Chains A and B, each alone.
Chain A
């Protein structure tokens, strides 16, 4: 199975580090800017309220006396001091009567005395109504300003309302400045973060890459030891890798030796089996020949012994054929679509009597589920022929193939006489057979081929209830499927 492509750690590490740094910096910066803005706005509100209250404290007498000019001057003096750098400007300041008419306004040209302070139906009028309804000093929010409102009371009666508006422009400008600073700072920190990340990733990834290359070489059988240049986890990893490489090399050498030994032993066993299997008919045949040579003119003997000799030779021929099959298929490899198995079905179907044996075929493998054609065909052929042999009086032969995520499954099931419990442990041994004319190599070949494909085989059988062989083969990967 191929993993999805993923960018190198060389890129990922600095990227992740940059993202983390940027996120942290931006979050903290934004929080600070927001907090700062809230604080400044609260301050501005406090100032607007203070100004309104200052005017209100001075005005009751002026309002009662109707001293418009003094009222205007007080309003101007308190709310329109000399503007200093970085201070909020007074957008507007006014004293209105309880009906909303102007008593004094900082902009008398636009808001003449004695006329309503706002046109009905406007946002401005809504604000005016809110201010008029206030019985206690308070602060209102408006577009681009905060408004401090203080009613002027005398003898329990409201005689005027002081409204002072301070611009939030300076505030917005400060916030924008702070935002820009935070942005630039975040950017700077992110750049530093990515540089650090790049440096770090170079330091981290370089030995990992060397390790990966070494491992790759090790897969090809070359063992290279890497220098241990540091004492951190990566150093430990390289150290472990070196030890593993040495051990693996040793193991591989031992395995090769063992395999060679096993091969010699197996070869010896096969040779002994072959010798034994050949020797049995050979002895009978030699006996026959000896008898025939002594009584060569006896036609009755010729008629009796020639078939015996022929049978013996055929048995030897069958043995050789099976051995040749095993030798031929053992190293074969050809990845093919699972439809190649249909050939075996057709072959077996041609050999059986459909009236006697019912052949079930359920191939659910998909075109992409590649199989090793020569081996799988041989495995299937042997199992199916065995199954047919196990049902001399007829029955049902069912083949079912399916795939799972990592494995392909092959199941061959018959309803024959089953395998005796005593024999169950020996059926895969070479030259073991329960049939008089069997070579005892069929299942041995199956086992060897399944193992050579890295798979396993299970057998489930009970006398008179039939036998099921279930084979699991790891999926042929693309790598294996490529022509060697």
Chain B
């Protein structure tokens, strides 16, 4: 009887300790297709199983918010855009956890899109039109098109009649598909992802131009996060393509695998940051 009581006490304590351990918060931004939440929940569950702690995916509207949450310790990991990474990589606050390989390389680019029925053929013809940006801290959704306008010798602040932010590449594509915007610049991965799934948004839009390639939006960790947890998380990601469940998830995400590249991959993005 006494033994039973002791066992019960121990069990309760163990359960309480397990419950007390907070979930790992994984920030998600416009860098990915946020609409497909179920997929990210399954990714979180997969990573949770691999690191031995529950992982929770948290969405934030803007990159800035996500970055702040990462900085002040609310989040330990985040999938962010290349631009914020390039901006903060030297700040010693975040570190490169892993980078996805998309269609053979850890690279992506910007697509300049217009509506399927639009007569516009290049970005120069978008002058005095309505243009949709995704986020002021986005590379392909903000910095790249502004650099392109700059290269035309025009001031990106006055080139378009009206600009607005949608805070999401999917929404940017939707804004063009709905013809709220005459043109937009979007993440090639997001566009291809939607196109692969036969989305109406991509069938209603047409690519009229693309940028050079940039380092793919990386997964980062907060400097100060538990070393072992960080290693576990990195290992879980890097080994995904060797795990059947992980491979299936990667397939759904249209990614080949995760790698750990050199931060210099983002030098190109860095240049955009300076000229934005």
Which of A20-28, A67-75, A287-295, A454-462 touches B? A67-75
Q: Nearest-CB distance from A61 to chain B (Å)?
A: 14
CB interface residues, A 199-219, toward B, < 8 Å? none
Contact A68 B164, beta carbon cutoff 8 Å: yes
Interface size on B, residues (CB 8 A): 16
Inter-chain contacts of A67 with B (CB < 8 A): 164-165
A350 CB within 8 Å of chain B: no
B93 is an interface residue with CB less than 8 A from chain A: no
A392 close to chain B: CB less than 8 A: no
- The answer to whether B239 has its CB under 8 Å from any CB of chain A is no
- State the Cβ distance, B126 to closest chain A Cβ, in Å: 12
- The segment from B42-50, B65-73, B95-103, B176-184 that touches chain A is B176-184
**Cα–Cα distance between A113 and B175 once the two chains are bound (Å):** 12
Determine whether the beta carbon of B165 is less than 8 Å from that of A108: no
Contacts of B178 in A (CB 8 A): 72, 108
CB within 8 Å of A: which B70-117 residues? 115
Residue numbers in B under 8 Å from A114 (CB-CB) = 130, 161-162
Q: Does A317 contact B (CB under 8 A)?
A: no
Given contacts A108-B178, A113-B180, contact A69 B132 (CB under 8 A): yes
Q: Is A3 an interface residue (CB 8 A)?
A: no
Can you name the residue of chain B whose Cβ is closest to the Cβ of A101? B162
* B187 close to chain A: CB less than 8 A: no
Give the residue name and chain of the B residue nearest to A68 (CB): B164
Contact A72 B165 (CB under 8 A): no
Distance in angstroms from B198 CB to nearest chain A CB is 22
CA distance A112 to B130 in the complex (A): 8
Who on chain A is nearest to B172 by CB? Answer: A69
Closest B residue to A66 by CB, please name it: B164
**B171 adjacent to chain A (CB < 8 Å):** yes
Taking CB atoms and an 8 Å cut-off, the chain B residues in 159-213 that contact chain A are: 161-162, 164-167, 171, 175, 178-180, 182
CB distance from A440 to the nearest CB of B (A): 124
Contacts of B164 in A (CB 8 A): 66-69, 113
Given contacts A69-B180, A108-B180, contact A113 B171 (CB under 8 A): no
Interface residues of A in 45-79 (CB under 8 A from B): 66-69, 72
Q: Which residue of A lies closest to B132 (CB)?
A: A69
Which chain A residues border B130 with CB–CB below 8 Å?
112-114
Check A108–B162 contact: CB distance below 8 A. no
Given known pairs A69-B166, A114-B130, the reply for A108 and B179 (CB within 8 Å) is yes
Among A68, A104, A109, contact of B179 (Cβ-Cβ < 8 Å): A109
Interchain nearest-CB distance for A95 vs B (Å): 12
Instruction: Given A112-B130, A113-B130, A114-B130, answer yes or no on A72-B162 (Cβ-Cβ < 8 Å).
Output: no
A72 touches B161 (CB 8 A): no
Q: Which residues of A contact B182 (CB under 8 A)?
A: 112
CB distance from B148 to the nearest CB of A (A): 21
Q: A69 near B171 (CB under 8 angstroms)?
A: yes
Which B residues lie within 8 Å of A104 (CB)? 180
CA distance A129 to B115 in the complex (A): 32
CB distance from B143 to the nearest CB of A (A): 19
CA A108 to CA B180, docked complex, whole Å: 5
In the bound complex, how far is the Cα of B182 from the Cα of A113, in angstroms?
10
For window 94-152 of chain A, which residues contact chain B by CB distance below 8 Å?
A: 104, 108-109, 112-115
Chain B residues closer than 8 Å to A115, beta-carbon distance:
161
Q: List B216-255 residues whose CB lies under 8 Å from chain A.
A: none
Q: In the complex, A114 Cα to B181 Cα: how many Å?
A: 11
Which residues 356-379 in A have Cβ within 8 Å of B in the complex? Answer: none
> What distance in Å separates the Cβ of A261 from its nearest Cβ neighbour in chain B?
117
- Among B115, B132, B165, B171, which residue has the most Cβ atoms of chain A within 10 A? B165
- B180 adjacent to A68 (CB under 8 Å): yes
Task: Write the chain A residue with the least CB distance to B162.
Answer: A114
Q: Which residue of A lies closest to B61 (CB)?
A: A70
* CB-defined contacts of A68 to chain B, threshold 8 Å: 162, 164, 180
A68–B175 alpha-carbon span in the complex (Å): 10
Contacts of A109 in B (CB 8 A): 115, 179
What is the CB-to-nearest-CB distance from B201 to chain A, in angstroms, rounded to a whole number? 14
B179 contacts which chain A residues (CB < 8 A)? 108-109
Chain A residue nearest to B161 (CB atoms) is A114
Known contacts A112-B182, A113-B180; is-contact A69 B162 (Cβ 8 Å): no
Q: Report the minimum CB–CB distance from B62 to chain A (whole Å).
A: 12
| A113: B residues at CB distance < 8 A | 130, 161-162, 164, 180
Q: In the complex, A115→B182 CA distance in Å?
A: 13
A261-296, CB under 8 A of B: which get 1 and which 0?
Answer: 000000000000000000000000000000000000
A66 to B171, CA, bound (A): 16
Residues of A within 8 A of B175 (CB): 69, 72
Chain B residue at smallest Cβ distance from A110: B179
Cα(A112)–Cα(B178), bound, Å: 11
| Chain A interfacial positions (CB closer than 8 Å to B) | 66-69, 72, 104, 108-109, 112-115
Instruction: State the 6 A-B residue pairs at the shortest beta-carbon distance, nearest first.
Output: A68-B164, A109-B179, A114-B162, A108-B180, A69-B166, A108-B179
The interface of chain B, by Cβ under 8 A from chain A, is: 115, 129-130, 132, 161-162, 164-167, 171, 175, 178-180, 182
